[in-house]
Amino acid sequence: MALLKKDLDLERRWSKLLSGLQEIFGKKPSDLNAVLFIIGVQELGKGPKPFSKEEKQDLMHIATCKVLSFSGFYTLDFIDQDGWPHWKLVKKLPHLNSADQEKMLKIHVLDYFEDEFEIDIK
């Protein structure tokens, strides 16, 4: 029963975040990948611009590393000559099924927006 309440709370907070991002961008992100893309663009710091498919994948990787750095899984290694951050895995990630991986990422994304932008999504 407690797990169900936890899942419902996570989904309520996630929905609140998506609504907040819709207010900012004028369009509601469709899924976790869309939110990771937004974080990646923010972390790259070059503003919105057209990105290639490979760059979009790199941006989502940057975002994943950034949000998981809050739990010590990654640390920023260096920023290359083009301004792209590179991360280093410093703590082994747990083996999770895809649903639990998504939950873990959503929790970290919520932490990112609460910590980095002081958005209240509790």
Tell me what pLDDT residue 47 has: 87
pLDDT band for position 2 (50/70/90)? low
Measure the CA–CA gap between 57 and 53, rounded to whole angstroms.
Answer: 6
Where do the structural domains in the chain lie, given as residue ranges?
A: 30-116
Which pLDDT tens digit goes with each residue over 69-104? 999 999 999 999 999 999 999 999 999 999 999 999
Tell me what pLDDT residue 55 has: 97
Amino acid at 41: V
Token pair for residue 34? 């869309």
Contacts of 77 (CB under 8 A, 6+ apart): 86, 87, 88
Q: What's this model's pTM, rounded to 2 decimal places?
A: 0.91
